[in-house]
């Protein structure tokens, strides 16, 4: 078989491209989750690294603004081998990384004691030079049926919070 230089270059480039895949988000789970108020939820964000990813690892979870006039809110960070879990006051003490060591490929977070104000689109952003990858998840927190009372006029009414 006779190989020409352009043919060999094409084969070499194809091999390099096939091997040099960098940072990837590998989560395959749902991108939309519904939970009741006061429950807990795991927002999944698994990732894999390759040898070409040589920079420091940063993980950032944000609650994306619902309109262009507001800023995204950083919920929780991992940077410099340290987790910053009390970053956003609205979820202080309720947002934690799922893994004690997120650099091993699990950037997932757990939100506990859900409130209706936690509803929104969350973005997991994983950065390790030269790659940046992200995944978005919509969380909908539904209120709870608190009580159902029998009213004097013999009608039922529901109190919804």
CATH assignment of the domain containing 67? 2.60.40.10
Model pLDDT, residue 158: 53
Model pLDDT, residue 21: 73
Domain membership flag for residue 80: yes
Domain membership flag for residue 1: no
- Name the pTM for this structure: 0.76
Q: What are the residues whose beta carbons fall under 8 Å from the beta carbon of 6, sequence distance 6 or more?
A: none
Q: What is the pLDDT of residues 113-149, one digit of tens each?
A: 999 999 999 999 999 999 999 999 999 999 865 444 4
Give the range of the structural domain holding residue 84, as residue numbers without chain letter: 24-160
**Number of folded domains that form the chain:** 1
Domain membership flag for residue 60: yes
Q: Which of the two residues, 148 and 23, has the higher pLDDT score?
A: 23
Domain membership flag for residue 56: yes
Confidence band for 150, pLDDT divided at 50, 70 and 90: very low
Domain membership flag for residue 2: no
Domain membership flag for residue 101: yes
Domain membership flag for residue 17: no
Give how far Cα 48 sits from Cα of 54, 84, 91, 118, 136, Å: 13, 22, 27, 28, 17
- Above 90 in pLDDT, residue 62? yes
Domain membership flag for residue 79: yes
């Amino acid at each position: 078989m006779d190989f020409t230089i352009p043919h060999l270059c094409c084969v070499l480039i194809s091999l390099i491209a096939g091997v040099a895949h960098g940072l990837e988000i590998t989560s395959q789970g749902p991108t939309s989750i519904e939970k009741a108020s006061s429950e807990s939820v795991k927002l999944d964000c698994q990732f894999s690294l390759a040898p070409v990813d040589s920079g420091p690892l940063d993980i950032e979870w944000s609650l994306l603004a619902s309109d262009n006039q507001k800023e995204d809110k950083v919920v929780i960070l991992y940077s410099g081998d340290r987790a910053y879990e009390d970053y956003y006051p609205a979820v202080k003490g309720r947002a934690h990384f799922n893994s004690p060591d997120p650099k091993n490929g699990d950037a997932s977070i757990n939100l506990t004691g859900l409130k209706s104000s936690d509803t929104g689109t969350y973005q997991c952003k994983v950065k390790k030079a030269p790659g940046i990858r992200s995944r978005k998840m919509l969380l909908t927190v539904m209120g709870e049926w608190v009580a159902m009372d029998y009213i004097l006029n013999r009608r039922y009414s529901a109190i919804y919070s």
